[in-house]
Structure 1
Amino acid sequence: MTEETPTPPEDVSLIHALLLDGRGGATEMDWEQIAGWKPEMGLLWVHLHADNPRTGRWLNEESRLDPLMAEALWDMDNQPRCLVEESALLATFRGMNFNRGAETDDMAILNLWSDGTRLVTVRSAPLRSVRDMARALLVGRGPRTIGDLLVTLLGRLHDRMEPVLDGIEEDLDRFENQVLRGDDSGIREPLLEIRSELIGFRKHLTPQRRALQELTKSRPSWLLKRHQREFREVENLVGRFLGELDGYRDRAMLIREELNNQIAERMNRAMYLLSIVTGVFLPLGFLTGLLGINVGGLPGTEVHWAFWAVCGILMIMAGISLFIFRRSRLI
């Protein structure tokens, strides 16, 4: 098996092909063995890398899939959806992209098709849930049927989202405590990033929930009722995630409003202080300006102590202004 890595080589098309033994184990297959596979040989799971021309050739020419299904499997622009047609299931889901350089809300795409005997999955980026499932099958501790495989895979795909959302909640808790202490340093940009992530998560998870609802309602014949119940549990989990995202969005908005209020309050205090200073020095400036006019007849120009007298008058006027401001409760 070719293990999923953060940066898979571009020439890797077949990530793994596993032939399930029905007892929780599986054996690996290569392209030649895949070409010779028949349903009576066992259940087959083929997992492919989308960014490779070989994947497209196999889907369109060798997979024996309907051309529309093959094209949909290779399309990495799909939003989450689910289509059940007779015994075939075609679906698109999104999972957390933990690969280096990926944005948190840049969720990886997983397209899948199955008729109950064969599962074909195509991904845009490595997914830990897929890797863990393949490892479990290779050591004999995996699912036994395609239905069990789908249920477990989708469950793990969504379980990976919970720690990410918990991390967002911890960040919001920290920001709230900072704002309550009056410390807004280093908050605005991370808060903006969190709001962007929340928008991205909600954009993907809203149709994902609808896809799970459709899968629960229109299950193909090879999915059992217990699978239906388990898919409903996954749907409820996504619904809880959406509720949490709404709560986080509201908290982020409140934190931003409080930040803006604190900034406005500081600006108001600064403007008020400038107004007080202006009120104190305005009459002093008027008097000094009057004494500085270049005309004859100014009193005290010939008296050596006149400067100090003017300084004393200015201090008295400043004291009177401050007394009036204090009496009026302006300071």
Structure 2
Amino acid sequence: MTEFPELICAYVLDGKGLGTTLDWPKVNTWTADQGPIWVHLDCTHENTDAWLREHSGLDTFVIDGLMADESRPRCDDYDDGTLLVLRGVNLNPGAEPEDMVSIRMWIEADRVISTRFRRLMAVEDVRQQLSSGKGPVSTGHLVARLAASLTERMSPVIENLSDQLMGLEDKLIGIDGGETLDMRAVRYELIDCRRVAIALRRYINPQRDALARLAQFEEMWLDDRIKGRLRETVDRVTRIVEELDEIRERAAVVQDELINRISQRMEKTMYVLTVVATVMLPLGFLTGLLGINVGGMPGAESPWAFWFVCAGLVGLVVIEIWIMRRFKWI
């Protein structure tokens, strides 16, 4: 298939779990009596759009849906097929998981045409299953497998996000009065955690609605068994959405606790500064008064006057501290 870079893969399903690979010439000469076909295309190649418009037989609005740059998960039913858009976490090297990758599918009873802009690991899972003889046996089964694989690969990302938040909770709960904590680092980590949760939920929630709507369609390629698989996937996606909601709520609690810790630290610092300023204020007044250059300053000629003043200032500090302790200010 290297001669046709726009064609990622194409399989004819034998109905027993095995898929036969096809190249472009065989795809173009395929007929329904050969078995259900799955054609997976790369939208980044200009030949993909040309083939869809010239050889696929699809309507223009369907092709536009398959080639759209940005798309949210959705499910639209038409007279001759179904347009389904799903998203999965981005597990490509160097990518952020929350930068979710989309797959767009046109589904008919004996044909599935799917497109993508970036590599999706769930597609690779299904391809391996077809190569080993344990793949989907029909177009409906193919869609259910892809949806299940997309959902399955979301779970570790959500678990890692939950563990990251739990680590922040442990940091804040485990800290005591004498222990220091890098509040700035915790704050940035918390912001990143909330950002990821919000970005994931933005696409996963509508994906749940799209799959739930698909499971309600009455199509030839949707039998009761496939609908059951789709409903199971919907339940798993629902749990993921609930986990994301829980993560967001826990993150809000952690943020409140972080704000309290920062406020307590600021209050403690202001308290120390206030005590020091209170102690030093009378001392500063006296030393300023004794430092004026006017005649008649007492003790100016005495060699012991400086030490008497120092002793008096120390005594004044002791009296101030005693008064503060008496009124429980310190």
Q: Shorter-normalised TM-score: what interval?
A: over 0.9
1: CA distance between counterparts of 2:46 and 2:211?
A: 30
Paired residue type of 2:79: E
Residue 282 of structure 1: aligned partner? 281
1:37 is paired with a residue whose SS is coil
Matched, 1:217 2:216: yes
2: CA distance between counterparts of 1:285 and 1:279?
A: 10
Out of 163, 169, 172, the residue aligned to residue 179 of structure 1 is: 172
Out of 59, 62, 74, the residue aligned to residue 55 of structure 2 is: 62
Residue 90 of structure 2: aligned partner? 97
Shift of 1:87: 4.2
2: CA distance between counterparts of 1:159 and 1:184?
A: 36
- TM-score if structure 1 supplies the norm length? 0.94
Shift of 1:124: 2.0
Do 2:17 and 2:135's aligned partners in 1 also have CA atoms closer than 8 Å? yes
Paired residue type of 1:29: L
Residues 42-76 of structure 1 deviation map (CA, whole Å, 9 limit, x = unaligned): 11100011111111111111111122111211113
- TM-score if structure 2 supplies the norm length? 0.95
Paired residue type of 2:215: T
Residue 36 of structure 2: aligned partner? 43
Matched, 1:127 2:120: yes
Residues 177-207 of structure 1 deviation map (CA, whole Å, 9 limit, x = unaligned): 1111225433221211111111111110121
Paired residues in the alignment total 324
2: CA distance between counterparts of 1:100 and 1:222?
A: 35
Matched, 1:19 2:12: yes
Do 1:24 and 1:142's aligned partners in 2 also have CA atoms closer than 8 Å? yes
Residue 118 of structure 1: aligned partner? 111
Residue 272 of structure 1: aligned partner? 271
Paired residue type of 1:298: M
Shift of 1:100: 2.0
2:83 is paired with a residue whose SS is strand
Gaps of 5+ in 2: none
CA RMSD of aligned residues (A): 1.5
2: CA distance between counterparts of 1:116 and 1:85?
A: 13
2: CA distance between counterparts of 1:208 and 1:37?
A: 32
1:289 is paired with a residue whose SS is helix
1: CA distance between counterparts of 2:60 and 2:31?
A: 20
Residues 266-289 of structure 1 deviation map (CA, whole Å, 9 limit, x = unaligned): 110111011111111111111110
Matched, 1:34 2:33: no
Q: Percent identity?
A: 39
Do 1:20 and 1:144's aligned partners in 2 also have CA atoms closer than 8 Å? yes
Residue 6 of structure 1: aligned partner? none
Alignment of 1:1-331 (within 5 A): 12-182=5-175, 184-185=181-182, 186-331=185-330
2:215 is paired with a residue whose SS is helix
